Structure 1
Amino acid sequence: MVDRTVHVLSAGTALPGQPVDTEALADRFGMDRLWVQWVDTFIGTRTRYLALDLETGEPRESLADLATAAATTALARARVSADDIDLVVLGTATPDTLMPATVNVVADRLRIDGVPTFQLQSGCSGAVQTFDLATSLLSTGRYRTALVLGGDVIAKHYDVTTDLRTLPPEELVNYVLFGDGAGAAVLSTEHHPTSPRIRSVLTRLAGLDRAPGQVLQWYGLADRDSARAPAQEDYKAIEERVPELADEVARELLDDLGWEHQDVDWLLPPQLSVTMTERIAERLDFPKAQEITCVGETGNNGNALLFFQLERLLDRIVAPSRAIAVAIESSKWIRSGLALELDGGV
């Protein structure tokens, strides 16, 4: 029997500019100290990175810029070249353009050609979906090495002239939670004893008859002056649903592999905000697992988050180790996750 186990060889990430702390947001938008304290207490995110000039609103970096940088790092760490890549998959909720697909712009910049490319339109679960699609294709034996990417540039929806004091909570929260960034990973069917193998990947739509928890608009010329809010979030619904869905993902992954909670050494929980991450990790209750979280520093940069967590995991994991990662999309409720194992076998 041919072994087509998929290994995660490397991860790379990219962030735009310098970190923007909550005090800088408050100064720019005229918010007071009480607002800063509210963010610190109920959100917990300390900094985020924005791909625009906060003073002028001018864009500085695109998703393609960030994804290319992250991919370049991942390829170098994996010691593979663009010529070694057999397929490319990008997950994002905020492509640079509807056409051409951002994944193809990135591939072109990396000098990758003549291979299948896929762009998955999705929220935070899109990162896991790239692994789902890539591992499925790699397991057919037709391909050997895949480049998977995830990222979002949400700041392009910012109006830096907005008076935040006039915004309803479902719009205001987006200025605090989100940031921009991109990540990449190299997957391979070649055996690498120092690289964790993917044991299971799960993505499931869970939004039947449920209203979206988040809406991100796309404006064309015909409706560019629409009064619709560019981004809205039902934070109360997310607070209620995301921990529940995360628990379902973790249990399904464990059941699939026959693992127990105490068998897991590393936990990569959903990264909506610091306070939500703490709440979810407590509910998941992995008693031995070390938690890898990044949202306090990076902000919620959507499909990039899993790659920032993987980058940290790969720097620290030693055999034998088992890891569980969970990502939940609240736009139409998708639960997703993956399980990794490093056993150090030859």
Structure 2
Amino acid sequence: MTAVHIAATGTALPGDPVDNAALGAMLGVSEEWIDLFVGTRTRHFGWDPVTGEVRGSLADLCAEAAARAVRASGLDPADIEFLVLATATPDTLLPTTATEVADRLGLDHLPVYQIQAGCSGAIQALDLGRTLIQGGRRAGLVIGGDVTHRFLSPRRDTAKLPTEELVNYVLFGDGAGAAVLTDEPEGERIAVRAVLNSWTGRGRPPGQLLDWYGTTDRDSGRRMLAEDYKAIEEHVPTISVEILWELLGGLGWSLDEVGFLLPPQLSERMTARIVERLPDGPAHEVSCVADTGNTGNALPFLQLDRLLPKFAAGERAVALCVESSRWIRAGFALEKV
């Protein structure tokens, strides 16, 4: 079977970081409450937190991240043979954001896919990209990103919002990330040894809701988004342990052979709870959520971007991802060759 490699990554975060003091002033809550509840220090928005003016789209961020990844890989855009983009928040339903990004990158006459998913979509994109490489493609782009401007607004009366909706204002941020996949060790020379993508939500209520409205129901009173934070606190640490053991078991790796761990990134405090529940090992944690907020499908790429400068030949890394919308287990294992 053809080996698949990550040659390079690229990321994009919009605007200046928004700290808890600024966010608290916008929401009418204390800076201390945000810190105690989620622990995230800053996040980035593609919209003005004061006026709500949208200053950047998902396509803007994804094209920027993908262009950086291609430049870092040393490949020419003409070498890219496919593009896969994962998001829960596309700019439009049609045309897809994936085709808009391909156009901005100057790509044409190649398969372009868009995956609609929460944070596990980034791993689904990696899985599809790996399959395309194994099917004979030489190089391609996998991209993940999300934006919040359709769901979070400073003009809303946040004092009247239920907690399950208000929590999203302190959890999320905007961002995008990308990776160039190749059939030969190029650039960073990171082999993708395993990818896990498994839905396990049968009979289980969703932990997150993200709705959308059409012309006939845009004035509906139903919630646009909601987060069952208690269910997430209960289930995500346990699921993360399951993902870790399944990846290691499938590869025959021991905990002692893993040098880096990329844990789920819902919030800084949730990440700490997850890591506390994982079995002890020598792996160094690679996290970004305290600085970026939860950026959905961008998160695994943001973690990869932080991993690369530390990743030496022969070292191994494992990434874990839990999508709580309907409980999807995902992850991947890497080795620098």
Instruction: Compare 277-286 and 313-322 and name the one that shifted more.
Output: 277-286
Q: Is the 8 A contact 1:203 1:336 kept in 2?
A: yes
| Equivalences, count | 337
Compared CA separation, residues 193 and 232, structure 1 to 2 (3 A):
closer
User: In structure 2, what is the Cα distance between the partners aligned to 1:165 and 1:284?
Assistant: 37
Corresponding residue of 2:41: 46
Ranges in structure 1 where 5+ consecutive residues have no aligned partner: none
User: In structure 1, what is the Cα distance between the partners aligned to 2:241 and 2:87?
Assistant: 24
| Structure 1 letter corresponding to 2:147 | V
Instruction: Compare 279-288 and 80-89 and name the one that shifted more.
Output: 279-288
Q: Secondary structure at the match of 2:60?
A: helix
Corresponding residue of 1:12: 10
CA deviations 1:208-236 (Å, max 9, x no partner) are 01111001111111111111121100000
TM superposition shift of 1:159? 2.4
TM-score, normalising length from structure 2?
0.98
Q: Percent identity?
A: 52
Corresponding residue of 1:25: 23
CA deviations 1:282-310 (Å, max 9, x no partner) are 21224200110000000000000000000
Ranges in structure 2 where 5+ consecutive residues have no aligned partner: none
Corresponding residue of 2:132: 137
User: In structure 1, what is the Cα distance between the partners aligned to 2:64 and 2:151?
Assistant: 22
TM superposition shift of 1:55? 1.5
User: In structure 2, what is the Cα distance between the partners aligned to 1:193 and 1:60?
Assistant: 33
Corresponding residue of 1:307: 301
Does residue 215 of the first structure (1) align with residue 213 of the second (2)?
no
Q: Is the 8 A contact 1:70 1:184 kept in 2?
A: yes
TM superposition shift of 1:191? 2.6
User: In structure 1, what is the Cα distance between the partners aligned to 2:174 and 2:154?
Assistant: 16
User: In structure 2, what is the Cα distance between the partners aligned to 1:30 and 1:247?
Assistant: 37
Does residue 203 of the first structure (1) align with residue 197 of the second (2)?
yes
Does residue 168 of the first structure (1) align with residue 162 of the second (2)?
yes
User: 310, 313, 318: which one pairs with 2:312?
Assistant: 318
User: In structure 2, what is the Cα distance between the partners aligned to 1:42 and 1:62?
Assistant: 29
Question: What is the root-mean-square deviation of aligned Cα atoms in Å?
Answer: 1.2
Q: Secondary structure at the match of 2:53?
A: coil
Corresponding residue of 1:191: 185
Corresponding residue of 1:128: 123
Q: Is the 8 A contact 1:151 1:183 kept in 2?
A: yes
TM superposition shift of 1:193? 7.9
Q: Secondary structure at the match of 1:222?
A: coil
Q: Secondary structure at the match of 2:86?
A: strand
User: 54, 74, 78: which one pairs with 2:69?
Assistant: 74
Does residue 58 of the first structure (1) align with residue 58 of the second (2)?
no
User: In structure 2, what is the Cα distance between the partners aligned to 1:13 and 1:280?
Assistant: 25
CA deviations 1:29-77 (Å, max 9, x no partner) are 332xxx3212212210001111111121111100000000001110100
Does residue 288 of the first structure (1) align with residue 286 of the second (2)?
no
Superposed structure 1 runs of 4+ greater than 4 Å apart:
none
